[in-house]
Amino acid sequence: MDILGMKWIREPEEFSIDDGRIEIKTEPHTDLWQRTYYHFRNDNAPVLQLDTDEKYFSFTVKTDFADSHHRFDQCGIVMYLDSDNWLKASVEYETDAFQHLGSVVTNHGYSDWATTAIPADVKTMWYRFSRREDDYCIECSYDGETFTQMRICHMWEGAGKIRFGIYACSPEDSSFTAVFTDLSLTECVWKAHEGETV
CATH number of the domain encompassing residue 171:
2.60.120.200
d(CA 86, CA 42) in angstroms, rounded, equals: 13
Asked whether 34 and 43 are in contact (CB, 8 A), the reply is yes
pLDDT (average), residues 115-127? 98
What are the two backbone dihedrals, phi and then psi, of residue 151, each rounded to the nearest 5 degrees?
Answer: -170, 160
**DSSP annotation of 36:** T
The range of the structural domain enclosing residue 105 comes to 3-186
Domain count for the chain: 1
Q: Is residue 37 part of a domain?
A: yes
Q: Is the dihedral of CA 106, 63, 60, 194 positive or negative?
A: negative
- What is the tens place of the pLDDT at every residue in 42-99? 999 999 999 999 999 999 999 999 999 999 999 999 999 999 999 999 999 999 999 9
pLDDT (average), residues 172-180? 98
Closest to 88 in 3D by CA, of 48, 7, 32, 15:
32
- What is the tens place of the pLDDT at every residue in 27-55? 999 999 999 888 889 999 999 999 999 99
Q: Is residue 192 part of a domain?
A: no
pLDDT above 60: residue 26:
yes
